């Protein structure tokens, strides 16, 4: 049997979806699922439910539960990562500490202080998994669902394992485009490219006809505009529609969340860019509601059709040679010509029996590449900080974040990062005993005289202009 190790299988609903998708694929019926999490409180629920589905449908699959990651990886054909280091406790700190300083995040899992600190917690674990895979299952393919996707896959791109990062932003955005244009989703021809959570629909066509004029027309109508206000504004000003939601995009750019004025600027609605802490609040609600409940106890044992998630289709392609194309996250290596070679890019990827293959997207429109680069700068430093354990690099990563830098001074950013490192220390062992350098404010008395310093002769003329101006 092929062995699929799911690292982070305590994510009950998502884990269930991926397993059902694989079991609903005829070529993959005989699969052993190894459910790994630090405790068995949730994985035992998943196993009990999946076993019911297997028995009810006469399937050849089987499930195993373990808390030993190395045991889960041993001999695996595929590794699925869907964990969250620190869980809701760390997520609360990612959201509430920046909010105290004035950085208002809606989602907080991709960029901004929340995304950077999620990367700091997750990248060392992902790299440990990659090292274990090199030893225990060197031919296995890692399918990553852990956010921040671009930072995680940037780090994975520096290892020797086969991997691809998967997200459903493109699929769900296609649903929106289909609804706005009245064209069935499966009849839309499209090309996307960029970075995860900030990819761009470079082409949207139906039977050779460009759908962009119709989409632009729809977004000028209030009843359509109101559904995706931030994406609509960026679309109107930058010319291309983005692959992720308003709440996400509002955090990746400096224009929508830096003040109450900005949040209500474009319409009489305070949550223009998505409500503050929307994802954290939702996660808290779900965790509290189902804390003592077995979510899967009453789920029917029918085997549903496959979902929109890419995972099962990719494994099917790798096993059978049935080619599958999808939007995947890999080290760029020329996929997108005007983004850095070493960054994690998202574009059209093919899977078949010979592996996972990037395609050449070419150059993005320069304005789209420029927006991507503002995020890539943060990603680069966050990955470096996660690996090096250098707190100064964390400060620099957060300082370059578009939203944070639109709200805070450099001193405030340093103070915020210091507080977050202290609060999240239990999940950040690489920073043990290390904090950013303190930078006290320099008091300048009113009567202080400027120090006499030599002037570069090349600059002397400018000094002379100053004297003349006086």
The pLDDT value given to residue 450: 81
Based on the domain organization, do 371 and 315 belong to the same domain? yes
Residue 433 is assigned to a structural domain of this protein: no
Domain boundary among 165, 195, 224: 165
**How does pLDDT run across 158-200, given as a tens digit for each residue?**
999 999 999 999 999 999 999 999 999 999 999 999 999 999 9
In the structure encoding, which two tokens stand for residue 137, read together? Answer: 């299952």
The larger pLDDT score, comparing residue 454 to residue 154, is at 154
Mean per-residue pLDDT, 299-328: 95
Based on the domain organization, do 160 and 220 belong to the same domain? no
- Whole-number average pLDDT of the chain: 93
197 a catalytic residue: no
Residue 437 is assigned to a structural domain of this protein: no
Residue 314 is assigned to a structural domain of this protein: yes
Residue 448 is assigned to a structural domain of this protein: no
The larger pLDDT score, comparing residue 332 to residue 440, is at 332
Eight-class DSSP state of 258:
S
**Full DSSP string of 265-284:** SSSS-TTTT--TTHHHHHHH
**How does pLDDT run across 343-359, given as a tens digit for each residue?**
999 999 999 999 999 99
pLDDT > 70 fraction of the chain, expressed in percent and rounded: 94
The pLDDT value given to residue 441: 83
Instruction: Calculate ∠ Cα 12-14-18, nearest 5°.
Output: 115
Residue 432 is assigned to a structural domain of this protein: no
Domain containing 107: what range? 2-165
CA dihedral for 388, 413, 396, 261, sign (positive or negative): positive
The pLDDT value given to residue 425: 98
Domain count of the fold of the chain: 2
**How does pLDDT run across 427-443, given as a tens digit for each residue?**
999 999 999 999 888 88
Residue 442 is assigned to a structural domain of this protein: no
**How does pLDDT run across 240-266, given as a tens digit for each residue?**
999 999 999 999 999 999 876 666 544
pTM of the model: 0.93
Based on the domain organization, do 159 and 94 belong to the same domain? yes
Instruction: Calculate ∠ Cα 245-270-368, nearest 5°.
Output: 35
Based on the domain organization, do 259 and 174 belong to the same domain? yes
The pLDDT value given to residue 379: 98
Q: Is 63 helix (H, G, I), strand (E, B) or coil?
A: strand
Nearest Cα to Cα of residue 234 among 368, 364, 132, 131: 368
**Position 466 pLDDT exceeds 70:** no
Based on the domain organization, do 238 and 378 belong to the same domain? yes
Mean per-residue pLDDT, 69-82: 97
252, 279, 280, 313: the active-site residue: 252
Domain boundary among 391, 412, 427: 427
**Position 126 pLDDT exceeds 80:** yes
């Amino acid at each position: 049997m092929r062995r699929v190790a799911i690292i982070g299988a305590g994510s009950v609903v998502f884990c269930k979806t991926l397993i059902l998708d694989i079991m609903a694929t005829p070529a993959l019926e005989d699969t052993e699922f190894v459910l790994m999490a630090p405790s068995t409180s949730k994985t035992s629920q998943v196993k009990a439910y999946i076993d019911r589905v297997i028995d009810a449908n006469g399937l050849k699959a089987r499930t195993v539960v373990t808390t030993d990651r190395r045991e889960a990886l041993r001999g695996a054909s595929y590794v699925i990562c869907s964990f969250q280091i620190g869980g809701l406790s760390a997520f609360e700190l990612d959201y509430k500490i920046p909010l105290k300083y004035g950085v208002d995040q809606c989602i907080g899992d991709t960029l901004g202080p929340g995304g950077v600190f999620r990367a700091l917690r997750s990248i060392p674990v992902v790299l440990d998994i990659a090292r274990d895979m090199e030893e225990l299952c060197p031919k296995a393919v890692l399918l990553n669902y852990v956010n921040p996707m671009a930072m995680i896959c940037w780090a994975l791109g520096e290892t020797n394992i086969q991997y691809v990062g998967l997200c459903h932003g493109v699929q769900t955005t296609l649903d929106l485009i289909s609804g706005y244009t009245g064209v069935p989703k499966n009849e839309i021809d499209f090309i996307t490219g960029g970075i995860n959570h900030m990819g761009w629909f470079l082409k949207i066509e139906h039977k050779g006809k460009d759908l962009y004029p119709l989409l632009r027309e729809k977004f000028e109508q209030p009843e359509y505009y109101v559904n995706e206000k931030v994406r609509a504004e960026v679309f109107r000003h930058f010319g291309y529609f983005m692959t992720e939601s308003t709440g996400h995009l509002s955090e990746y750019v400096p224009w929508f969340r830096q003040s109450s004025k900005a949040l209500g600027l474009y319409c009489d609605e305070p949550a223009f860019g998505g409500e503050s802490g929307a994802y954290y609040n939702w996660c808290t609600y779900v965790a509290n509601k189902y804390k003592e409940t077995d979510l899967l106890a009453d789920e029917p044992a029918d085997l549903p059709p496959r979902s929109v998630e890419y995972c099962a289709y990719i494994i099917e392609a790798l096993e059978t040679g049935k080619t599958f194309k999808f939007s995947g996250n890999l080290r760029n290596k020329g996929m997108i010509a005007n983004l850095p070679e070493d960054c994690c890019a998202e574009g059209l990827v093919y899977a078949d029996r010979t592996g996972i293959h990037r395609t050449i997207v070419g150059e993005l429109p320069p304005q789209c590449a420029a927006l991507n680069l503002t995020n890539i700068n943060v990603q680069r430093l966050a990955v470096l900080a996660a690996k090096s354990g250098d707190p100064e690099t964390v400060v620099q990563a957060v300082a370059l974040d578009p939203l944070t830098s639109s709200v805070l001074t450099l001193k405030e950013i340093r103070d915020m990062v210091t507080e977050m490192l202290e609060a999240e220390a239990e999940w950040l062992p690489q920073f043990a005993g290390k904090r950013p350098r303190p930078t006290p404010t320099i008091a300048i008395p009113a009567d202080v005289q400027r120090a006499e310093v030599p002037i570069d002769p090349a600059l002397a003329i400018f000094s002379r202009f100053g004297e003349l101006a006086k």
